[in-house]
Each structure stands twice: as structure tokens, then as C-alpha cells.
């Protein structure tokens, strides 16, 4: 089999154990640089698995993907601009409510998402019962339980990532309903957006949502598109 290159991006909230997962995946094959143009640290690493050469990019730890902080913009731009083959979202299983917010936003962007349900041991010690299958079904994305601190689940995670790349595992995503009135406005905006050059790169639904969120970066992109 020919060696194939794939890129995966690691996303996740701060303190979700993202760095530990990154170390588990890449071991010593890491190098640290900066994100282009900014002084935010960018960590990359690589590994080989089942004939794939996998490049792993560690995104800044963020809670959300708005345009309010540099970290959030970097994480978002990477997912949109570099279009990684898979985005792995490290989710703290003991704090699902807050952590899933990022996962939902990644799915809204249409990312090929794999949810790594980390800190399963903490969740279990608190006697939380998490129905992993149901979570995966409702999100429309594969979910892999992990205990990164004990390097448990890393193989399963890699299998799932490769499965997604091979199209053996489907990431259908979910279509979030924002409420009738908001949906009507999204539909209107999608129609006017669909002919704009930006819609070649981004989904017009996502652009419409971002416009309604008054996302600085996206508005700027529209303004630039006008000049160019």
C-alpha cells in the first residue's frame, strides 16, 4: 500500500487533556513553531499508522469559535483554511455541558469530527453514566472514550480517525435548528450569499449564521471580497 498523508487537527477546551492526547499520539516526533504572523505557539507532530503518515496539529485550547479572541480565530481558520482530514475534539467527559459547545460549533462548520471523550476515569469516579452510542448518534459523529493520562483509548482513536478518512465511518453531523425566525433569516441570507465568492470556500449556511452572530472576521472577509 502506498504511504498516504493525512492531517488531523486536535481541538478542545483548555484543561481537557489535549496536550496529553497530543503527546500520546506523536511521542517524541514533535516540533514547536508559531502560527503564521502571530506569536501563538503552534505544535505539530507526526506518526505512522496502518500505512498512513499522520500529521497532527495541536490547535489552541478554546471554549468557542467566535471571533472574540486570537486563539479562537486561529483554531477556526485552521479548520476552514487548511481543511484537515479529521478534526479530533478532546472533550472532558466530566464536564460535558461546557465542552460540547465547541463540538457543536465544529459540526456546524462541517468539520469531519471525531469526539475523543477524555477523562472517562474522572467521570466514572463521579458515577456519571454516559451513553456513548447515543451521544455519537445525536451528534452525528463518532465518539471514542479515552483516559489520556493512562494512554487508554489511543489505538481506538487512531482506528476511528483512519476509518473516517477511509469513509468506513460516516460523519453525518447534525443540523442545529436555531428557531423558526432565525431559520427564516438564515434562508434569506443564504440566498444572497450563494453567489458571493466566499461561498466557494465556506458553506453558505455557516456564513449566514456567522453574519447573524455579527462575527467580526467574517464581516471583514465580506468587505474585503467587495474590494477585491
Partner 1 sequence: MDSEQILHAKDESLAHLKRVYGDEAETVIADARYGFISGLLKDVLKKPAIDRLTLSDRIDKVVLNRWLGIPIFLAILYGLFQLTFTLSIPFMDWIDKGFGWLAEPASGISPAWLGSLISDGFIGGVGSVLVFVPVIFLLYIGLSILEDSGYLARAAFVMDRLMHRIGLHGRSFIPLMLGFGCNVPAIMATRTIENPKDRLTTILVTPLMSCGARLPIYALFAAAFFTAYQGLVVFSMYAIGITLAIIMAWIFRSRLVKGEGGHFVMELPPYRLPTIVGVLTHMWERGRVFLVRAGTIIFSVVVFIWLLEYLGALEPIGRAIAPVFTPAGFGQWQAAVTLIFGILAKEVVVGTFGILFAVEEGALGETIATQLGWTPLIAYAFMAMSLIYVPCMAAIAIIKRETNSWKWPGFVIGYTLVLGWLVATLIYQIGRLFV
Any idea what the Cα angle at residue 132 is, between residues 62 and 177, rounded to 5°?
A: 60
CA angle 35, 98, 10 (to 5 degrees): 30
Rg over alpha carbons for the chain, rounded to the nearest Å, is 18
Nearest-CA neighbor of 25 among 160, 154, 165, 156? 154
Q: Candidates 24-32, 78-86, 125-133, 154-162 — which segment interacts with partner 1 by CB under 8 A?
A: 125-133
CA distances in angstroms from 35 to 58, 65, 66, 107, 201, listed in the order given: 11, 17, 18, 23, 21
219 is an interface residue for partner 1 by CB under 8 A = yes
Task: Give me 225's grid cell.
Answer: 471580497
Q: Where do we find the cell 472517562? A: 120
Residue 135 near partner 1 by CB under 8 A? yes
Q: How far is the CB of 171 from partner 1 (least distance, A)?
A: 17
**Separation CA 125–CA 135 (nearest Å):** 20
Task: State the number of binding residues for partner 1 (CB under 8 A).
Answer: 41
Least Å distance, CB 155 to partner 1, is 24
Instruction: Tell me how far, at minimum, the Cβ of 213 lies from partner 1, in Å.
Output: 5
Q: How far is the CB of 228 from partner 1 (least distance, A)?
A: 10
Q: At its nearest, how many Å lie between partner 1 and the CB of residue 87?
A: 17
* 35-61 as b/e: b if 16+ CB within 10 A: beeeeeebbbbbbeeeebebbbbbbbb
Q: Indicate the residue among 57 and 93 with the shorter CB distance to partner 1.
A: 93
The pairing of beta strand 143-145 with beta strand 113-118: parallel
Site string for partner 1, 67-106 (x = CB under 8 A): -----------------------------xx--xx--xx-
Q: Which of residues 152-211 bind partner 1 (CB under 8 A)?
A: 174, 176-179, 181-182, 185, 188-189, 192-196, 209, 211
Query: Site for partner 1 (CB under 8 A): which residue of 29, 170, 201, 212?
Result: 212
Residue 214 three-state SS: coil
- Between 7 and 94, CB nearer to partner 1: 94
Half-sphere exposure of 194 (CA within 13 A, CB side): 6
Among 41, 81, 138, 166, binds partner 1 (CB under 8 A): 138
Binding site for partner 1 (CB under 8 A): 96-97, 100-101, 104-105, 126-131, 134-135, 138-139, 174, 176-179, 181-182, 185, 188-189, 192-196, 209, 211-214, 219, 222-223, 225-226
Amino acid at each position: 500500500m502506498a504511504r498516504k498523508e493525512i492531517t488531523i487537527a486536535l481541538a478542545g477546551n483548555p484543561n481537557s487533556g489535549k496536550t496529553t492526547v497530543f503527546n500520546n499520539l506523536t511521542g517524541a516526533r514533535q516540533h514547536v513553531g508559531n502560527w503564521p504572523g502571530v506569536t501563538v505557539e503552534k505544535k505539530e507532530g507526526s506518526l505512522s499508522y496502518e500505512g498512513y503518515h499522520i500529521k497532527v496539529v495541536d490547535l489552541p485550547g478554546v471554549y468557542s469559535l467566535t471571533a472574540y479572541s486570537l486563539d479562537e480565530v486561529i483554531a477556526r481558520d485552521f479548520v476552514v483554511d487548511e481543511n484537515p482530514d479529521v478534526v479530533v475534539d478532546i472533550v472532558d467527559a466530566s464536564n460535558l455541558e461546557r465542552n460540547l459547545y465547541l463540538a457543536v460549533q465544529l459540526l456546524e462548520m462541517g468539520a469531519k469530527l471525531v469526539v475523543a471523550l477524555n477523562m472517562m476515569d474522572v467521570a466514572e469516579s463521579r458515577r456519571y453514566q454516559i451513553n456513548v452510542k447515543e451521544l455519537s448518534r445525536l451528534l452525528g459523529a463518532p465518539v471514542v472514550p479515552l483516559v489520556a493520562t493512562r494512554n487508554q483509548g489511543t489505538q481506538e482513536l487512531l482506528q476511528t480517525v483512519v476509518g473516517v478518512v477511509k469513509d468506513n465511518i460516516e460523519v453525518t453531523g447534525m443540523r442545529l435548528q436555531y428557531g423558526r425566525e432565525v431559520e427564516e433569516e438564515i434562508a434569506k441570507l443564504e440566498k444572497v450569499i450563494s453567489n458571493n465568492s466566499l461561498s466557494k470556500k465556506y458553506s453558505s449556511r455557516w456564513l449566514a449564521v456567522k453574519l447573524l452572530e455579527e462575527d467580526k472576521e467574517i464581516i471583514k472577509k465580506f468587505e474585503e471580497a467587495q474590494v477585491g
